[in-house]
Chain A
């Protein structure tokens, strides 16, 4: 028996945080989640699997385009042609989606009810698949208790959208513990909701396959589905499906003494990342760190630096790269503490900036300064991975950068 376990497709969810620039490979990543999904269907056909499991979050909750549903149905028809059944539960996003209920699905697609836990049997394989969809976006009940007892003589699979007992960066839905799952007596728990692949338990097997396509810089690394083969023993194999891979590239510039060396190091590091990504298109965040003598030079004109670094990285990428962001987190060789010595005005300035951390009233004033901008920004700006710009802690985080900016301008 052979099946594929996938989850969190988030079909037609656009990639976030990729700023366009000249030379960016725009065409390649167009409809990346669709491309990845087509790859999933291709893989099902190639591997000639017995069935496909989708553990929730097929759609993106607030996505309005019905085309997405139709596209899904069309892809499912391809599996119908090959007589591959599909079992899916609705996750929190699907529950919120306006598309979910309306899309006419081909008969090979089996959607679990949200009213009660259900079981589908595949007699030819002696497989029992249990599951329950989310009725609404926020399910706080432990659904495992509702799942039926395992079928004797069958390979029991539980399909569940859950955050277990909580996972960082993910809303807590359908909470349950690993013990709950183990105790249920199923052979395999096909979980969804957590976007990072994670094998929770072996025998019985509890697995989050991760999403099939990373959508922003916080979803780095290899994304895809899990191919499960059950003979005498059970084997799980991860298969990459992502069109574009998100990655971080930290370059320690401690040894660099001039810009050409900086470029050389960036070039080297980027090449390494591309190599690791198996020549796949990369969305890369480059973070320059280390205490370096070129610190001042890098910070004098940040735009210029960012453009140069991006050009260097792009040159070495052969079109396999989209620079998501370049962060300059270097430090000067001589620490600014030297400047703090004595009663120099510069020392006064630095001390003043340092003291801001403690002066809540002043920080509030700074927050107020940003109010006109905040008022204009659209709600999408504040989605998931964006930091809030309306509290003092944000301002505090910015103080180091601001200090750097002032010093680089004054010392220029």
Chain B
């Protein structure tokens, strides 16, 4: 199969890109493209074309995945052709050119059933796979089978695969190791199995244990029985030992009881009752005696008590006096104090009177008293006076100040003159300002005018085509731009036509020359026979024949004709003619090709000469047209006196000229504006001058410029403005000052009036009092103060006098009362001066009398109570004595005193009896249910002296037996515990067994893996050996030849050697016969060995199958130029059998290929996707497909 065309309609960076390998003679296709030219994409595209576009393709970045399309045309050796497309998708991705779906199997029939893997590994090779192949050869030590197999299958890692399988297997299992997984699992399983066995309970063990348990239990029971018997014996002995003393004691007690004889047994509480009763009797009797004695004593005391009755009668009066006594005492003391105070007050009042200059009698003193109302009025007036006085002085001062102020302002106003009218000047200045700085503008315009003039001048001078004045320049009539364009187009058209003609002529001339040369060459190689020559020769022959026929057959020789025909003999001449005709005819037949070519050339020569002549004529016409155009052109410009250049240049000149005219126009406008401004300046100067001289006549205005004048005018305007505002301000101030003065005068008058009114009031107020009329305001205050002191004292003295009299009266009254009382109670009063003492004594006596009366009353009451108590006592005594009599009867006694003895006897009897009961109770309680009699009987049967010995013996026996029992119990417990443990709940063995099963499961899993790896490695080795056996010779032979060439004779070939394990390996043979193993070869040589093996395989495949194209991607990167050339040569050779498509980045390879590969079979393509899709937009549809390479 060979590829005729690849069409990357939309794939990777390619759009509608075609590579055609259509020329069947060219079998070695060299595809050259720089880096990034899309070489790899193209390679992928090839594989994808045959074997689907992968789902995760990296070539769908420019075109969307659904748009990806690759097409191709392929042809089989049997002549079948197929053009198809592939799209990206899951199924039905193939289609014919007419979009009809194509079956995969149909394509497969072209590919000879080669799978994608086989295709990429066997028929596609790049420098990496080459390198890997070389390395793999090295790693395999050149193992023959592997090398051949790998080289054949294109698999480089076969050796690694084998090692990997081996390693995987050894990692899983190794018969003698312990680490591999299976070995570990085996040992684990063994352990678990042992564990299961150890943890298992055997039936025998369980039965044995059960038997043990039962026998122990029996043993234990019998022992317990024995112990019980012994314990019984011991208890009996112990009982006897213990009851012996009790029985003896009982006997003694019984005897004592007998000795006591007849006894009245009194109840237990009898003694207590008796003692209680006699105690109570004694107490009651003593109490009765004490009460009688107390009554007597109280009656005696009452008789002895004496109480004064009159005191109690007047008790109220005495208590009253006693109460008043203290106020009496106070009064008595305060009389002399008041008297002294009064004297002092009178003295001070008199002093005050002296101060007030009063000399009248003391009794008329009241006349001096000033009424409260008057006093208040005086005080008010006095305070008013000070205010009024102050007001008056204030207003006076103000009045003075206002006057002075007014005077000052008036003087100032007179100092300033009057304002003048400045309105016109103001207007003029404002107008001039509006115009701006006229002088500066004029200066600028002048400068601009000068520079423009100079520029225009220069421009005109610089022009090479035109000279004249400015005005002339303005007046030139330049042709229109359209006219110039017309001339230009015409000229261009003419020139290009002329050039085209010249070109054609040149081509034709050279073509003619080629034809003439070839004709000449042909002629040189020998005369080329023509049909004409043949005809001529035949005619000559015919002529000879006619002559001969006439001479020989007709016997009418035409001698004339013969002579004319040939100087030789006729037959000779004829023979020559026949020979020549034959010769020409032969020549024509033999050199038919040459003849045809010769004739063709002649005809072509004539045709071309004819067309050349017509071209010459056309050229002449063209030149005439050009001359005519030139004349018209010159005429156009001659009118304005210009020698024209080319239309293009003249168009440039026209632009320049237009610019010039623009400058001239500008200058004219500028001049006009300048003149206008000049005129305005002069007018303004005159106006300002006249206005200024009117305002300030002495000012010089003649020489000043406009700006100076403006300065003056503005100064005057400012000064005038200031003066006007000053005057206004002063006038307003004077007006204000006069008003203030007026108000001050009014205030002053009011103050004077008020003070006059006050004086009148004052005089009036004084006249109403006793005060002297001359009294001033300042003195009035003092007077009133002394007056107030005086009357305070007078009033105080009067009050004291009244109190004094009151006191004296109450003293007298009290003393009278006392005397009255004394008379009533017939108190023997020694003197009344010690009245206080008297009252106190009286009071004390009264108190005593009262207390005595009270006590007497209490005593009476006590006596009554005591008598009642006595009656009660008598009753109690009688009851108690009755009870005593009952007791006596109970005890069988006559007297109280006999009772104690009876009691003691009864007590003794009870004690003994109690002892007896206690003893018998003890005996019965511990007597194990025997009666006292039986107990006594029991004691009688034993030897009392040996009894303790017996008890001890029994105890020893028991101790031993008990120890034995405890031991037995322990043993039983252990067995029982062990037995109970075996309740079937233990899962230890089960768990170990379960775990064992999981290990078995793992073992099974790992074994399967091991078996797979082990057998895979084994089978693979076998298969390789088998392949080696079957394919060794033809491939090795061919590879040997190729290796010799690829190494440029460095090795003469390949052979089979054997390694240390006697495995056959590939070796290279040096010229001297040395064998070199793969490990002894350089990297490059290893690559070449691998390449040789691969090529040999591909060739072998091609002989047995439908050949597949060999696609190589820059495999020569590491080859030097010489080896590269040789490789290319070999590839070219095999390309006759297998289509070779070689991709490269390296331009020099193209050169090498051209050198060594025959031109006829070499097909060079240059790839560059970018250029392609950049140009597509600009191209028309039908061209697109042609412009790919």
Contacts and interface: CB of A to CB of B under 8 A. Distances in A.
- Tell me, yes or no, whether A binds B: yes
Interface of A: 12, 14-20, 29-31, 34, 64-74, 98-99, 101-103, 257, 302-303, 324-325, 334, 338-339, 341-346, 348-349, 352-353, 356, 362, 365-366, 369-370, 372-373, 375-378, 380-381, 383, 386, 389, 395, 398, 401-402, 405-406, 409-411
B1011 A406 contact: no
Contacts of B118: 339, 342, 344, 346
A325 B998 CA distance: 12
A356 B1019 CA distance: 9
B993 interface: yes
A65 B189 contact: no
Interface string B168-188: 000001010000001100100
21 contacts: A12-B993, A16-B1001, A66-B202, A70-B201, A70-B983, A74-B985, A101-B203, A338-B113, A338-B115, A342-B113, A345-B1027, A352-B1019, A352-B1026, A352-B1027, A370-B1011, A373-B1007, A376-B186, A383-B1000, A402-B1015, A405-B1012, A409-B161
Contacts of B1015: 366, 369-370, 395, 398, 402
B810 interface: no
A15 B994 CA distance: 7
B114 A341 contact: yes
B738 interface: no
Nearest to A324: B1001
B1046 interface: no
B189 A378 contact: yes
B982 interface: yes
B1012 A345 contact: no
A333 to B, nearest CB: 11
Interface stretch (B152-160, B383-391, B786-794): B152-160
Given A70-B982, A99-B203, A398-B1015, A16 B186 contact: no
A124 B808 CA distance: 145
Contact of B1012 (A353, A372, A401): A401
Interface in B1013-1027: 1013-1016, 1018-1020, 1022-1023, 1026-1027
A73 B1011 contact: no
A339 B115 contact: yes
A68 B1105 CA distance: 72
Interface string B199-216: 111110111000000000
A18 B1019 CA distance: 31
A257 B149 CA distance: 33
B984 A71 contact: yes
Name the prevailing secondary structure of the B interface residues. Answer: helix
Contacts of A352: 1019, 1022-1023, 1026-1027
A102 B153 contact: no
Contacts of A411: 117
A68 B997 contact: no
Contacts of B1012: 398, 401-402, 405
Contacts of B377: none
Contacts of A410: 155, 157-158, 161
A352 B1010 CA distance: 21
A66 B205 CA distance: 9
Contacts of B1002: 19-20
Contact of B982 (A67, A378, A380): A67
A353 B1016 CA distance: 10
Given A370-B1011, A372-B175, A389-B1007, A349 B1023 contact: yes
Nearest to A389: B1011
Contacts of A343: 1100-1101, 1104-1105
Given A20-B998, A257-B55, A348 B115 contact: no
Interface string B106-142: 0010001111011000100000000000000000000
A353 B1026 CA distance: 11
B1004 interface: yes
Of listed A14, A72, A341, residue having the most chain B CB within 10 A: A14
A154 B128 CA distance: 91
A31 B990 contact: yes
B175 to A, nearest CB: 4
Contact of A102 (B199, B203, B1022): B203
B1105 A342 contact: yes
Contacts of B183: 376
Nearest to A102: B203
B984 to A, nearest CB: 3
B182 A373 contact: yes
B996 interface: yes
A352 B149 CA distance: 14
Contacts of A386: 1004
Given A66-B205, A352-B1022, A376-B175, A34 B987 contact: yes
Nearest to B117: A411
A339 B989 contact: no
Contacts of A20: 998, 1001-1002
A364 to B, nearest CB: 13
In order of increasing CB-CB distance, the 3 nearest A-B pairs are A70-B984, A341-B113, A71-B984
Nearest to A385: B1004
B191 to A, nearest CB: 12
Given A16-B1001, A378-B193, A409-B165, A362 B152 contact: no
A376 to B, nearest CB: 6
Contacts of B1000: 16-17, 378, 380-381, 383
B1005 interface: yes
Contacts of B1100: 343
A384 to B, nearest CB: 11
Contact of B989 (A64, A338, A348, A369): A64
B175 A348 contact: no
B740 interface: no
Of listed B114, B993, B994, B1022, residue having the most chain A CB within 10 A: B994
Contact of B1022 (A29, A346, A362, A375): A362
Nearest to A386: B1004
Contact of A381 (B196, B200, B1004): B1004
B996 A380 contact: yes
Of listed A74, A339, A373, A395, residue having the most chain B CB within 10 A: A373
Given A348-B1027, A376-B183, 5 more contacts: A16-B997, A31-B991, A98-B202, A383-B1000, A410-B155
Contacts of B287: none
Nearest to B1013: A405
B990 A65 contact: yes
Given A14-B990, A346-B118, A341 B112 contact: yes
Contacts of B153: 344-346
Of listed A257, A302, A369, A389, residue having the most chain B CB within 10 A: A369
A296 to B, nearest CB: 10
B1003 interface: yes
Given A102-B206, A381-B1003, A74 B1014 contact: no
Given A67-B982, A370-B1011, A377 B1016 contact: no
Of listed B199, B1022, B1105, residue having the most chain A CB within 10 A: B1022
B1005 A19 contact: yes
Contact of A71 (B157, B985, B996, B1020): B985
Nearest to B172: A373
Contacts of B189: 378, 380
A339 B1016 CA distance: 18
A406 B998 contact: no
Of listed B108, B984, B1003, B1104, residue having the most chain A CB within 10 A: B984
Contacts of A12: 990, 993
B201 A66 contact: yes
A70 B202 CA distance: 11
Contact of B112 (A31, A342, A401): A342
Contact of A348 (B182, B1003, B1026): B1026
B201 A402 contact: no
A17 B1007 CA distance: 13
A78 to B, nearest CB: 12
B351 interface: no
